[in-house]
Amino acid sequence: MIAHVRRAAFLAWATAAYGCSASAEDVDAPPPASEASAASEHPLAASWNLVWSDEFDGNQLNTANWSVLTSNYDPVTNNCNFGTGELEYPRPQNVAVRNGKLVLSAQRTGDRPNDSRCASYGPRSFYSGRIHTKGKVEKTYGKIVASIKVPSGYGMWPAFWTLGANISSSNPWPKCGEIDILEWHSNDPSWMKSALHWYENGQADWGTGANRGSSVADAFHTYEVEWSKDRIMFRLDGNVVANNSFANNKPAFQKSHYIILNLALGGNWYGNPAPSAVDLPSGVTKTMEVDWVRWYQLQ
């Protein structure tokens, strides 16, 4: 979810990549008794060890884990509207922890908010929430899993993804690498869409997806990536995603990454729709809810 040029390339090859249905094969064995609570929601092989998680207990975000974006300027990636022309203005008021869940909310606004560093792009039409673990939780390899409920409606663009922690002005996107564990598009509501982006004599992309057969929106599902030095694969609700195995020998995926969770609206993945076309009426709030996020690594 970074570059203006990325979505055009993504759409060109994603049609073929997403044309297969998901496999029902479950490659994980039952976990040991010590992982019984996690097993009730997501079975794990005995060799996986939980090294970090956020269960979103309590009534506020754990700032030892997460940073909250406060405008449509991203100081980590040094861009406006996140490089994809998104229509939202992130702010802390749209990030909450309640009832054991992270809640990223979105509303239409007439306030016309805009960061002064992004003045040339014009005001934003929505408030929303966006958080990341840069500088706080950064790891290499493992199984990254989250239980998420995404909102339905045209223009909703919820995402669960990672970026290379070495992203900088001298190592910008896509050289840092990007792992999209979940992206959702209203044109394909039954699909979990996943992708990889890196640099190889120019921007390089690889995509896959899983069709659950009915909309994944408005209910909790588990979304995961299994990432090792020689393979990256994705799962929806514990099932292997079709065309899911990427032979990983790319330098961008041999280094630490950090996690991002956000609820975007509009943008170039939707063909840059007018704010009026986005299915979020005034006075209505839509939410992306996260029950938990867990990072496992091999013992």
DSSP per position, 135-170: TTSEE-SEEEEEEEEPPPSTTEEEEEEEEETT-SSS
pLDDT reported for residue 242: 65
pLDDT at 278 over 50: yes
pLDDT reported for residue 44: 52
Q: Which of 90-94, 161-165, 235-239, 291-295 has the lowest mean pLDDT?
A: 235-239
pLDDT reported for residue 12: 35
pLDDT reported for residue 219: 98
Distance from C-alpha of 54 to C-alpha of 62, rounded to nearest angstrom: 8
Burial class of residue 141, CB neighbours in 10 A (0-12, 13-18, 19+): buried
90 preceded by cis ω (within 30°)? no
Query: pTM to 2 decimals?
Result: 0.87
203-237 tens-digit pLDDT: 999 999 989 999 999 999 999 999 999 999 999 99
Distance from C-alpha of 169 to C-alpha of 151, rounded to nearest angstrom: 34
pLDDT reported for residue 243: 67
5-62 tens-digit pLDDT: 444 334 333 333 322 323 323 323 223 333 333 333 444 556 999 999 999 999 999 9
Q: 55: Cβ–Cβ under 8 A, 6 or more apart, which residues?
A: 100, 291, 292
Q: Which of 25-34, 74-83, 112-121 has the lowest mean pLDDT?
A: 25-34
What's the whole-number average pLDDT of the chain?
87
pLDDT reported for residue 240: 72
Distance from C-alpha of 105 to C-alpha of 90, rounded to nearest angstrom: 10
Mean pLDDT of 71-78: 95
- Residue 299 — very low, low, confident or very high, per pLDDT cuts 50/70/90? confident
pLDDT at 248 over 90: yes
CA 229 to mean position of chain CA atoms: 21
Residue 219 near residue 243 (C-beta atoms within 8 A): no
pLDDT reported for residue 41: 44
β-bridge partners, 193: 183, 209
154-209 tens-digit pLDDT: 999 999 999 999 999 999 999 999 999 999 999 999 999 999 999 999 999 999 99
pLDDT reported for residue 52: 98
Closest listed residue to residue 26, CA positions, set 12, 45, 9, 40: 45
- Residue 107 — very low, low, confident or very high, per pLDDT cuts 50/70/90? very high
pLDDT reported for residue 45: 56
Q: Higher confidence at residue 258 or residue 27?
A: 258
What long-range pairs does 110-113 form, CB within 8 A, spacing at least 24? 110/282, 113/71, 113/72, 113/89
> What is the DSSP code (8-state) at residue 299?
-
